[in-house]
A and B are shown apart, each in its own frame.
Chain A
Amino acid sequence: MSPARRFLRTPEAVAGAILLAALIAMALVALLFPGDPQAIAGPALLPPFQDWSLPLGTDRLGRDVLAELFHGARASLAVGLAAAAAALAIGSVVGTLAGFAGGLVDEVLMRITDAFQTVPSFLLALAFVSVVGPSLGVVVIAIALGTWPGPARIARAEVLSIRERDYVASARAIGMHPLEIAFREVLPNALPPVLAMSSVIVAAAILTEAALSFLGLGDPNRVTWGGMIAEGRAVLRTAPFLSIVPGIALVLTVLGVYLAGEGIVETTAVRRGLS
């Protein structure tokens, strides 16, 4: 059975994939939404389903909640993917270097990794964003800063087992530069278990972004779901839809990422096991 068919036979994975597809569709439709989602479109605090030109109503300043929701999908997705990519990239490079070089380099890199793991990552992100000032890029870096040690450790462990293998020894024998061996031969082979973490990291990044926005540390020039909840919570009881709608979007997205990610990991793991 091909991995794709196996994936399709797992209801959880399919549900996750559907959720993700919906999210991506939202983000793409947002690209087609011309104009500024933060433009004032109608009277403030219009409840949903009252006016069909503004189906989900408006927020405190009269901005269209539906347009915000679509644009928020883009921001959440962008932050999640970018932060995860950055964390995985830093993690696998550091892990590969540490595992492959060994000795003092390993010791130093691992102590730095320890240091980052010792500081609660959310606290680090909070301090970093407060210090540098909130913008989408800064939030991405802040999240990546707290997330890379996990992948780094896994990459290192994987590299440690790979570096003694035959093909590495033969690469050494033909006189390849150690860095070249590390990144050409070892890293690609160490990646699969690291990549298996990506869905968890993407999901965590989306949640962290939301929590940062909740504490008022989101990018003010972009709509994010976390930011929408933060704005809505002041009127949580007067206009609960303002926090509930983006909250549900957030939960469904994160759930979709988990389920689809798990489905992919399981199907590919089985394949690897069989081959």
Chain B
Amino acid sequence: MIRALMLLRRRVVGSVFVLLIVVIGTFVLLEAAPGDAVDAYIVSTGGDAGMIELLRHRWGLDQSELTRLANYLWALLHLDLGQSVTFARPIRDVILERLPNTLLLMVSATALSFGLGSALGIYAGARPGSARDRFLSIGSLALYAVPGFWLGLVLIVIFAVDLRWLPIGGIETLASDKTGVDRAADIATHLILPVAALGFIYLALYLRMMRAGMAEAWRQDFVLAARARGLSRRRLVLAHVARNALLPLITMLGLQSAQMLGGSVVIESVFSVPGLGRLAQEAVASRDTPLLLGIILTSAVLVVVINLLVDIAYAFLDPRVGAGEAGA
């Protein structure tokens, strides 16, 4: 427990620096962008020189970059993410509205790729070199080679347009006034296709890692010993081989969380899911610097927290890992 707390403190202190770098980096990147929020806004409206000046002043864009960065950081210190210029609403509210959708998508997709991936990995790794092992490993690799957006488009055409089994996009039936279990079921049906598109791609990762870990474990002494003891193959695979191969997969889970978040940008766009990824795309297009900062900060915090949880889980699962090593 103490070890976990120390780890926690170390990671939190380190994370503050990391987040500061992220904020300043994002700010500089977006400031370097040609065109600002007013340029992006004016595309759909047009307007004369006076109106443009008016807008720049109202949105505080006539202040210097340094002033704006300082103001932003100062507000951030008070846990205030600021006001979105394009939504004219507090950024915290805008993000909180989208975050659950992205989380739902990410968690389900991770569960799918991790669960199915490691299960198939165990199935394949139980008989290394067999036909099913080769088939699964190449098949999953082929899946890993498919661009996610492409898979999404194909799934929509087949399951939503032609067969009409599933909705083509969105997160729930619009303005349906459903509540409770009905609503949950509704959301679940909407999630099937995007989760499949996102999850199947990463399936190969866990499958192959599991397989490789198991191949390693087969050669280890304790497995050989257990084998010599005449343990049934099924028990051997599940209790010894697979269990040992599982640990690196958990680390991968943490590392993948950032990638999953990135992958969901395209998937959210293809399936019209109102999540953080699509919001980020909108924020870039509308040059809404504080909004993009808020999103990147939120996802960074998310990634940091997930990795922290993974580290803690790891520390508990594997007594060999000391708090010191898990850092940096």
Contact = CB atoms under 8 A, between A and B. Distances in A.
Interface of A: 12, 106-107, 110-112, 114-115, 117-124, 126-128, 130-133, 146, 203, 207, 210-211, 214-215, 226, 229, 233, 236-237, 243, 247, 250-252, 254-255, 258-259
A243 B150 contact: yes
A138 B299 CA distance: 24
Contacts of B161: 237
B296 A114 contact: no
Contacts of A130: 33, 284-285
A111 B18 contact: yes
20 contacts: A106-B328, A111-B14, A111-B18, A115-B19, A115-B300, A118-B304, A121-B259, A122-B259, A122-B263, A122-B265, A130-B285, A131-B33, A131-B34, A132-B32, A207-B147, A215-B266, A229-B149, A236-B157, A251-B142, A254-B145
A215 B261 contact: no
A255 B30 CA distance: 35
Contacts of A120: 258-259, 261-262, 265, 299, 303
B34 to A, nearest CB: 7
Contacts of B22: 115, 118-119
Listed residue (B17, B144, B147, B269) with the most chain A CB atoms within 10 angstroms of its CB? B147
B157 A126 contact: no
B29 interface: yes
Contacts of B19: 115, 118
B277 interface: yes
A111 B14 CA distance: 7
B266 A211 contact: yes
Given A120-B261, A236-B153, A127 B142 contact: no
| Secondary structure of the A contact surface, majority rule | helix
A146 B258 CA distance: 11
B292 interface: yes
A126 B147 contact: no
Nearest to A240: B157
A20 to B, nearest CB: 13
B6 interface: no
Nearest to A121: B262
A76 B326 CA distance: 37
B34 A111 contact: no
A146 B142 CA distance: 23
Contact of B18 (A118, A211, A214, A259): A118
Nearest to A130: B284
Interface string B31-45: 011100000000000
Contacts of B12: none
Interface in B3-34: 14, 17-19, 21-22, 25-26, 29-30, 32-34
Contacts of B18: 111, 114-115, 118
A110 B285 CA distance: 31
